[in-house]
């Protein structure tokens, strides 16, 4: 991977998800699929997409005729402060959003098969490169994406969310493989439906993922009556970009209510949301963030951290950050009185791990009371030396601390960790911590590091200091299937290559057919056509590419009519590709004043 100043900022735990773009594995039919979609996009989206789309194609260096080299794109993307990396299909939502926070587009390296050319449930390079990349050239939208990533990556997921992600990834992998058995796909769909129908209360991640879907992926902008397209899912789906503007797709004004609308990746959407401006997207995002544990803290943060069953961070009002897997915390009424983790834990301040308080030392977990001492109204972390002595916290002497909650800490005070004038940690030896009839900490467990926080001000997914914590995303257990092509397919892709070579050789000779005739003399287009018709009678995309060349240079009118006749036959006998063929014919014939019917 060729690095640049944007990619250099990526943390190690994200880099583990990055793969090399398998450029040499793209077949010539893959390039033809890209070219077909992009030509249709430029033709149609120039009229219905947000004004920055077509300009963005130029600014981001995306080719119309062939799949772009991703790291070639990076040389241009860095000029607008972004970069792109290749990944293997769907990645965890929190990781996807964190990449976004670093201004890095995550691009699934695979490309959709020809039978999913209009719409694919799997992320692919058309969706990411041709959908997301052009729109980020708009400064206001670019900042929205960055902010969304920063906030979204902190959202709590539920344990069920992880199961849903795995099910979605599995189904998308099967659907992207042209050789998947129908029974396999149906079983995966059934499993996904089961999980989706039994999710329970929506997590923060589920709700913010909905906001992402209805804006970044499937957003419309402007008026409800005549909106424009800006969502990448619509920009990259030539089928849905056409259908989405029709009256049967309900248009709703975009608001925080969109967070409660779930979506189905396997089909086109029954309703879409329209934002009046890109600034409105940011306003709604900020409104939603106020409901998150990230902003609210308190009991809500602890409950969400516990239910996630994963690494989380709880921040106290002292500024101390506790990172670990939270469990069995004590809540009285509406107050959290004791928090604890059941895994290796790290203590940090301002997202930097405190020396001596990493996962190695707190390998068995961590616990601490939260709240004010009985009879005081000043938090422990704000007490100076004299005030600490007044309440009996004197070095090498026994101290007895009673909290309003009823928690009692009794032990020999040893030292404190003070940062920026605040006491973050008080350390005791021979310490007992109790609550009612329960012992929470025993002397034989070693020293007791007590955090000095009177309340919880924030909670979010992941550790405060990912690098020191050793955070990493494991590579997916199930990788995108490597397609093993048949001999017949390989021969077919060779024909796509031949047509591409003819087109490229004549790209600068639009008004002179002599070069094409010279090539025809060596190849014989009639013989070439007869081979295609005999061996691949339904390969409509290849026929369109051949018709484009033959009709452009008018070297063989009879052959043009024969290809056109075969395309009409395929079109009239398969409703699934009628529009695809008609749209392809329009691009080829209309500029010459010919009729496609």
| Predicted confidence (pLDDT) per residue in 228-273, tens digit | 999 998 988 888 888 899 999 999 999 999 999 998 877 788 999 9
- Assigned domain for 301 exists: no
pLDDT at 428: 98
Report pLDDT digits (tens) over 38-55.
999 888 888 899 988 888
- Assigned domain for 295 exists: no
Of 432, 438, 374, 434, which Cα lies nearest the Cα of 398? 432
Tell me, yes or no, whether 151 and 270 share the same domain. yes
Residues contacting residue 390 through CB under 8 Å, at least 6 positions apart: none
Residue 251 carries which DSSP code? E
Report pLDDT digits (tens) over 442-467.
999 999 999 999 999 999 999 999 99
The number of residues making up the chain comes to 597
Residues contacting residue 519 through CB under 8 Å, at least 6 positions apart: 502, 505, 506
For residue 307, the SS3 value is helix
Tell me, yes or no, whether 335 and 279 share the same domain. no
Rounded Cα distance, 407 and 577, in Å: 70
- For 116, other C-beta atoms within 10 Å of its C-beta total 18
Task: Bin 396: left if φ > 0, else alpha if -120 < ψ < 50, else beta.
Answer: left
Tell me, yes or no, whether 424 and 541 share the same domain. no
Of 317, 582, 344, 372, which Cα lies nearest the Cα of 463? 344
Alpha helices in 393-486 (DSSP H): 466-469
Angle made by CA atoms 433, 439, 443, in degrees to the nearest 5: 55
* Boundary-marking domain end, from 253, 286, 319: 286
pLDDT at 199: 86
Q: In what order do the strands lie in the sheet with 271-275?
A: 227-229, 219-222, 271-275, 250-253
Lookup result for tokens 């014939």: 589
Rounded Cα distance, 133 and 479, in Å: 25
- Asked if residues 380 and 423 have their Cβ atoms less than 8 Å apart, the reply is yes
pLDDT at 526: 85
Residue 83, burial from CB neighbour count under 10 angstroms (0-12, 13-18, 19+): buried
Of 555, 333, 357, which Cα lies nearest the Cα of 449? 357
DSSP string, 7-66: GGG--HHHHTT-B---GGG--HHHHHHHHHHHHHHHHHHHHHB-THHHHHHHHTT--SSS
Of 207, 122, 198, which Cα lies nearest the Cα of 163? 198
What's the domain range around 223? 7-286
Report pLDDT digits (tens) over 471-526.
988 778 888 888 888 999 999 999 999 999 888 877 666 555 555 655 555 567 88
Report pLDDT digits (tens) over 117-141.
887 777 888 887 888 888 888 999 9
Tell me, yes or no, whether 518 and 439 share the same domain. no
Mean pLDDT of 194-215: 92
Residue 572, burial from CB neighbour count under 10 angstroms (0-12, 13-18, 19+): exposed
The whole-chain average pLDDT of the chain stands at 91
Mean pLDDT of 329-334: 92
- Assigned domain for 406 exists: yes
pLDDT at 394: 96
Mean pLDDT of 83-107: 92
Mean pLDDT of 562-570: 95
Q: What is the pTM of this model?
A: 0.89
Higher pLDDT, 400 or 511: 400
Mean pLDDT of 179-195: 92
- Assigned domain for 474 exists: no
pLDDT at 501: 87
Longest dimension (CA), the chain: 103
Tell me, yes or no, whether 337 and 399 share the same domain. yes
Tell me, yes or no, whether 242 and 329 share the same domain. no
pLDDT at 514: 55
Number of structural domains (the chain) is 3
For residue 160, the SS3 value is helix
Query: Which segments of 501-576 are extended strands (E)?
Result: none
pLDDT at 62: 83
pLDDT at 509: 60
Tell me, yes or no, whether 379 and 503 share the same domain. no
**From 67-81, 161-175, 333-347, 498-512, the region with the lowest mean pLDDT:** 498-512
- Assigned domain for 124 exists: yes
Q: In percent, how much of the chain has pLDDT > 90?
A: 66
Report pLDDT digits (tens) over 294-320.
999 999 999 999 999 999 999 999 999
Q: How confident is the model at residue 592 (pLDDT cuts 50, 70, 90)?
A: low
Q: Tell me the range of 5-14, 18-27, 103-112, 420-429 where mean pLDDT is highest.
A: 420-429
Tell me, yes or no, whether 171 and 211 share the same domain. yes
Tell me, yes or no, whether 278 and 170 share the same domain. yes
* Boundary-marking domain end, from 417, 432, 464: 464
* Boundary-marking domain end, from 252, 270, 286: 286
> What CATH number did the domain enclosing 49 receive?
1.10.800.10
pLDDT at 421: 92
pLDDT at 523: 65
Mean pLDDT of 431-441: 95
Rounded Cα distance, 132 and 497, in Å: 28
Tell me, yes or no, whether 448 and 548 share the same domain. no
- Assigned domain for 300 exists: no
- Assigned domain for 292 exists: no
Cα 324 to Cα 347, 442, 466, distances in angstroms: 9, 21, 11
Tell me, yes or no, whether 500 and 576 share the same domain. yes
Tell me, yes or no, whether 151 and 118 share the same domain. yes
- Assigned domain for 469 exists: no
Of 396, 583, 383, 475, which Cα lies nearest the Cα of 87? 475
Q: How confident is the model at residue 552 (pLDDT cuts 50, 70, 90)?
A: confident
């Amino acid at each position: 991977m060729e690095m640049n100043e944007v990619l250099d900022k990526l943390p190690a735990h994200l880099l583990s998800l990055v793969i090399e773009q398998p450029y040499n594995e793209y077949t010539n039919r893959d390039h033809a699929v890209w070219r077909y979609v992009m030509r249709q996009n430029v033709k149609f989206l120039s009229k219905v997409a947000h004004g920055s789309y077509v300009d963005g194609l130029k600014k981001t260096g995306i080719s119309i005729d062939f799949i772009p080299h991703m790291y070639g794109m990076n040389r241009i993307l860095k000029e607008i402060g972004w970069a792109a990396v290749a990944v293997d299909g769907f990645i965890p939502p929190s990781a996807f959003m964190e990449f976004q926070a670093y201004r890095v587009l995550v691009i699934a390296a695979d490309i959709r098969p020809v039978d999913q050319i209009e719409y694919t449930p799997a992320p692919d390079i058309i969706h990411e490169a041709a959908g997301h990349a052009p729109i980020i050239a708009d400064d206001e939208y670019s900042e929205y994406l960055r902010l969304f990533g920063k906030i979204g990556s902190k959202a709590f997921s539920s344990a069920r969310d992880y199961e849903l992600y795995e099910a979605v990834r599995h189904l998308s992998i099967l659907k992207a493989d042209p050789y998947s058995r129908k029974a396999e796909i149906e079983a995966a769909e059934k499993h996904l439906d089961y999980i989706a129908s039994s999710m329970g209360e929506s997590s923060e991640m589920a709700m913010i993922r909905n906001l992402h879907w209805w804006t970044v992926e499937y957003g419309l902008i402007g008026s409800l009556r005549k909106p424009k397209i800006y969502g990448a899912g619509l920009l990259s789906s030539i089928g849905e970009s056409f259908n989405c503007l029709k009256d049967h797709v309900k248009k709703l004004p975009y608001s925080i209510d969109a967070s409660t609308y779930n979506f189905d990746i396997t089909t086109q959407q029954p309703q879409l949301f329209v934002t009046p401006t890109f600034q409105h997207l940011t306003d709604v995002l900020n409104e939603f963030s106020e409901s998150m544990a990230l902003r609210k803290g308190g009991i809500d943060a602890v409950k969400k951290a516990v239910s996630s069953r994963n690494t989380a961070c709880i921040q106290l009002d002292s500024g101390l950050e506790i990172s670990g897997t939270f469990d069995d915390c004590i809540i009285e009424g509406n107050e959290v009185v004791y928090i604890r983790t059941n895994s290796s834990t790290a203590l940090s301040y301002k997202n930097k791990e405190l020396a001596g308080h990493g996962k190695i030392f707190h390998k068995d977990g961590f616990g601490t009371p939260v709240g004010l001492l009985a009879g005081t109204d000043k938090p422990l972390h704000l007490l100076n030396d004299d005030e600490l002595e007044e309440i009996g916290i004197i070095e090498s002497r026994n101290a007895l601390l009673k909290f309003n909650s009823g928690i009692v800490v009794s032990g020999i005070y040893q030292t404190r960790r003070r940062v920026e004038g605040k006491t973050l940690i008080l350390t005791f030896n021979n310490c007992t911590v109790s609550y009612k009839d329960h012992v929470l900490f025993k002397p034989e467990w070693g020293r007791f590091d007590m955090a000095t926080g009177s309340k919880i001000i924030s909670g979010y997914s992941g550790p405060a200091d990912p690098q020191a914590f050793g955070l990493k995303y494991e590579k997916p257990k199930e990788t995108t299937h490597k397609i093993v092509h048949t001999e017949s397919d390989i021969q077919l892709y060779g024909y796509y290559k031949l047509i591409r070579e003819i087109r490229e050789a004549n790209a600068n000779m639009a008004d002179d057919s002599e070069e094409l005739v010279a090539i025809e003399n060596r190849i014989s287009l009639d013989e070439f056509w007869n081979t295609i018709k005999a061996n691949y009678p339904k390969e409509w995309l290849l026929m369109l590419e051949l018709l484009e060349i033959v009709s452009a240079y008018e070297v063989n009118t009879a052959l043009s009519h024969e290809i056109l006749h075969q395309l009409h036959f395929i079109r009239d006998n398969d409703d699934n590709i009628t529009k695809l063929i008609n749209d392809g014919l329009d691009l080829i014939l209309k500029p010459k004043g010919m009729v496609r019917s």
